[in-house]
Structure 1
Amino acid sequence: MSERHPSGAPWRNFYGRFKGKGLRPAQQAYLDEDLPRLSPGPVSWEDNPQRRPIDPGAVFGGRPVWLEIGFGGGEHMVHLARSHPDVGILGCEPYVNGVAMALGKIRAAGVNNIAVHPGDVRDLFDVLPEASVARGFLLYPDPWPKKKHHRRRFVTPEHLVPLSRILQPGALFHVATDIPDYARQTLEQVPAHGFDWLAERPGDWREPWAGWLSTRYEQKALQEGRRPHYLTFRRR
């Protein structure tokens, strides 16, 4: 029998940060006032110990749902919401400071087609129905550069198996990274879990897909001389 948290959740190691320096009063207000109404539903083990599925389509009035995994400060997520008002954008980010930043951007943009899960994407995977997401984004994930830490990367079976389950057949999965070894692992692991890489020429991984917004993380990578890799896959 697997070891479990007092809430009933299985123990899952989480290696990133949940919180950084103190929040400004305005950021705390975003968390207190905006986060509850932007929730996609009962995702956490405390609120949903039976792991009842949520209905993301119902959250967005039947619109197709796109998922951004680890939205950082939220600039790309808000860009998607503005550019695609006919789509519901579901964002997941465990770092509370990033969540607060994103909530401020959502409020300033006045978009109403975003839902936010402030936690581990694996908990969200637990409660999303099969084939409920039409597109996925993984942008500049934590590279975990040391070889002994590669198992902590997102592009491992622990994450890719449930991701494959929740994505619709034919759904696109976009990955951007400035770390060559992360791109290597992505190209090894993602096709092994039900996806086809769509590249046909070098420009397909050197140039971003249509509608791309260059994030602050990408600008930092470019300033430091690292080349971004843009990888697009289709769920088989």
Structure 2
Amino acid sequence: MSEQDHDYRPLRSFGRLKSRPIKPRQAALMAERLPDLRIPAGPVTPRNLMPGAREVWLEIGFGGGEHMAAQAAAASDVLILGAEPFLNGVASAVRHIDEQSLANVRLHDGDARDLIARLPDGAIDRVFVLFPDPWPKARHHKRRLIQPETAVALARVMRPGARLRFASDWADYVNDALATLRAEPAFRWIATRADDWRTPPADHVTTRYEEKRLGDCAPVFLEFDRRAD
């Protein structure tokens, strides 16, 4: 990679890649299953990963995988692509997939932006960005996942009518994400009343992270439609 290429690499939108040691049993399961679950390198054609899939959903930053696995179990005819750079989270997700015998989940153990760049136009029917790293310090806001360039990239891979759900329990990040996504002409915020963002959607699955209430406000849920071009 040239110095020029390095200068234009996006800032990391996530923190540590690993915390506590992965338990031997979980590490063995990940070594066994992840090669088959991993999304192949190069351009991605989601429909080839699961022929006959009714829709293709993308979860960015799936954490421990609880939400992703629950959504996959509830919609077995939908292919769910999950992206997560945190190795402990990937190990946890592989365990959920194995224990529930889920055949409709594929994983990218890395930066979601790398996966998005490899997806074709209009390939995604639904996107989840749930409780991403808030980078609360002002000097770190540039590292937040939701940036104007990310909004453009998501708009490209989402089909017209596709839905994007963003959730956070950091008020400043909610306001920042709302402003960023509303500024992107491809997205329409669908809320019509306060309960639309204050109340978890009917199909939302509460995760362990969400239950910890580490933010500075109650969880806020923002739903957007991908407009037709």
State TM-score, norm by structure 2: 0.92
SS of residue paired to 2:4: coil
CA pair 119-225 structure 1, distance change in 2 beyond 3 A: closer
In the TM superposition, what is the alpha-carbon distance from 1:10 to its structure 2 partner? 6.3
Structure 1 counterpart of 2:23:
24
> Does the Cα contact within 8 Å between 2:170 and 2:216 map onto a contact in 1?
no
Contact (CA 8 Å) 1:154, 1:160: kept in 2 or not?
Answer: no
User: Does 2:135 correspond to 1:144?
Assistant: yes
Partner of 2:202: 210
Aligned to 2:5: 4
Q: How far apart in 1 are the matches of 2:125 and 2:3?
A: 33
Is residue 72–residue 98 contact of structure 1 (8 Å, CA) maintained in 2? yes
Secondary structure class of the residue paired with 1:68: strand
Q: Secondary structure at the match of 2:128?
A: strand
* Residue in 1 that maps onto 2:11: 13
Task: Tell me the equivalent position of 1:160.
Answer: 151
- SS of the aligned residue for 2:114 comes to helix
Alignment of 1:1-236 (within 5 A): 3-4=4-5, 11-14=9-12, 15-42=14-41, 48=42, 53-63=43-53, 64-193=55-184, 194-221=186-213, 226-236=217-227
Instruction: Supply the AA of the counterpart residue of 1:133.
Output: I
Structure 1 unaligned segments of length 5 or more: list them. Answer: 43-47
The answer to whether the Cα contact below 8 Å between 1:27 and 1:101 also exists between their aligned partners in 2 is: yes
**In the aligned structure 1, how far is the partner of 2:150 from the partner of 2:48?**
25
Instruction: Report which stretch shifted further, 128-137 or 188-197.
Output: 188-197
1:126-176 deviations in whole A, cap 9, x for unaligned? 210011000000001111111111111111023221111111111000011
Identical-residue share of aligned pairs (%):
43
Which structure 2 residue ranges, 5 or more long, are not aligned?
A: none
Residue 12 to residue 31, structure 1, CA distance change in 2 (3 Å): farther
Distance (Å, rounded) in 2 between the aligned partners of 1:39 and 1:225: 35
How many residues are paired up?
A: 223
Cα RMSD between the aligned structures? 1.9
Tell me the alpha carbon deviations over residues 93-136 of structure 1, each in whole angstroms, 9 at most, x when there is no partner.
00011100110111111111000000001110121001100000
